[in-house]
Structure 1
Amino acid sequence: MADRLTFNLSTGGDVVIKLRPDVAPGHVERITDLASSGFYDGVKFHRVIPGFMAQGGDPTGTGMSGSDKPNLKQEFSSEPHVRGTCSMARTSDPNSANSQFFICFGDARFLDNQYTVWGQVESGMEYVDALPVGEPPREPGTIVKATVA
């Protein structure tokens, strides 16, 4: 299984994420399958809240959609939601994660044990910090290309 995911962002560089199959094997498999297929290429960060998180992974850019794959069963863990944590977005149904994810800007420990952590940013967090803010941003930042290694 791959151990790194790289998002080349429109904000100027690569965000390298260490994958965590040890805590969320099903979610890591989904993310890497989608990334390998080109699903995330060109996808917008449709919800960027300073000090909290940047959310993307919806091909429509609205936050209301996902991939055509079935939703995932939750893989909650006590992994902390801190700066650089990558976790899955979902509805109020704990088993509704699909393709949307978020990257934490800072401490969001209140999300621990309620959202599935699947990775941690190793480098390039400055490019996440540079994403245009808003819900949605007027000119959203995008994933130019996603690659798995």
Structure 2
Amino acid sequence: MSDHTRTGTYGYGSSYGSSYDTNNVNLNNTPSRQTIKFLTAAAIGVSLMLLSGLILTATVIGLIIATPLLVLFSPILVPAGFILLLVASGFLFSGGCGVAAVAALSWIYNYVAGKHPLGSDSIDYARGVIADKARDVKEKAKDYAQGATTGSTY
């Protein structure tokens, strides 16, 4: 808004024009400013590329130096790594089961306490459907029992 000039009256109901001031035309896009932006971006890009190359070189040199040690100690390191993987996955699985159990118990407590947690409407609907089916089965059993005592067949 600072680079727009105001036209019209400056009281109640004033209108603001969208014409630019002739003295401040495109100060943000002058060639010198664009050159400075380009040089800054280029300097940052080149320095990051050099840093990336140095890190890659250090990683390759470290791997070259460490490879004989890894080959020498691989009969110990491979089983140890496998055991550590199994132990870590066991702890993660155990923790996940514990979190799931706490969440389930919390949901059950909230449901029993009448707070109606998320999904309780589905449980109530399923309970109603099961109760209706049980009532239907009970009535069918009574009908079959009456039919068996009277001797009629269906």
Q: Which of the five TM-score ranges fits, normalised by the shorter chain?
A: under 0.3
TM-score (norm 1): 0.15
- Structure number with the bigger relative contact order (C-alpha 8 A, sep ≥ 6) is 1
Higher-Rg member (1/2): 2
- Higher strand proportion, which one? 1
